[in-house]
Structure 1
Amino acid sequence: MKRVLNLAAVVVMAGFLGGCGPGESGGNFEDVDELREAFADAGGTCDDWNQTDTVAGALQSGECSSTSQLSVFKDASGVQYQITEVKKSDRAEGMGDWLTGENWIIATDGSTENATDLQAEFGGQVVSFKEAG
Structure 2
Amino acid sequence: MRKPLVPALVVLTLLLAGCGPEKSGGSYDDINALRDAFIKAGGDCEEWDESNQVLGAAQSGDCGTDTVLSVYLTHDAVQQRIADTKDSIFSAAGGEWLTGENWVINTDDVRNLQKEMGGQIVSFGSDEEE
1:40 paired to 2:39: yes
Indicate the residue corresponding to 1:68 in structure 2.
67
Structure 1 runs (4+) greater than 3 angstroms displaced:
8-13
- Per-residue CA shift, 1:81-118, capped at 9, x if unaligned? 0000010011112142100000000012x2xxx11111
- Per-residue CA shift, 1:50-91, capped at 9, x if unaligned? 000011111100001110000000111010000000100111
* Structure 2 Cα separation of the partners of residues 37 and 95 of structure 1: 26
* Structure 2 Cα separation of the partners of residues 63 and 14 of structure 1: 38
Q: Which runs of 5+ in 2 are unaligned?
A: 1-6
2:127 partner letter:
A
Indicate the residue corresponding to 1:119 in structure 2.
114
Q: Structure 1-normalised TM-score?
A: 0.85
Task: Describe the SS at the equivalent of 1:126.
Answer: strand
Q: Which runs of 5+ in 1 are unaligned?
A: 1-5
1:16 paired to 2:11: no
Alignment CA distance shift 1:66-1:95 (3 Å): farther
Task: Describe the SS at the equivalent of 2:83.
Answer: helix
What is the aligned-residue RMSD (CA, Å)? 1.8
Shift of 1:130: 2.3
**Percent of pairs with identical residues:** 43
Shift of 1:10: 6.0
Shift of 1:23: 1.1
* Structure 2 Cα separation of the partners of residues 78 and 92 of structure 1: 18
Task: Describe the SS at the equivalent of 1:119.
Answer: helix
Shift of 1:13: 3.9
Shift of 1:12: 4.7
* Structure 1 Cα separation of the partners of residues 127 and 50 of structure 2: 34
Aligned length: 123
Task: Describe the SS at the equivalent of 1:30.
Answer: coil
2:83 partner letter:
T
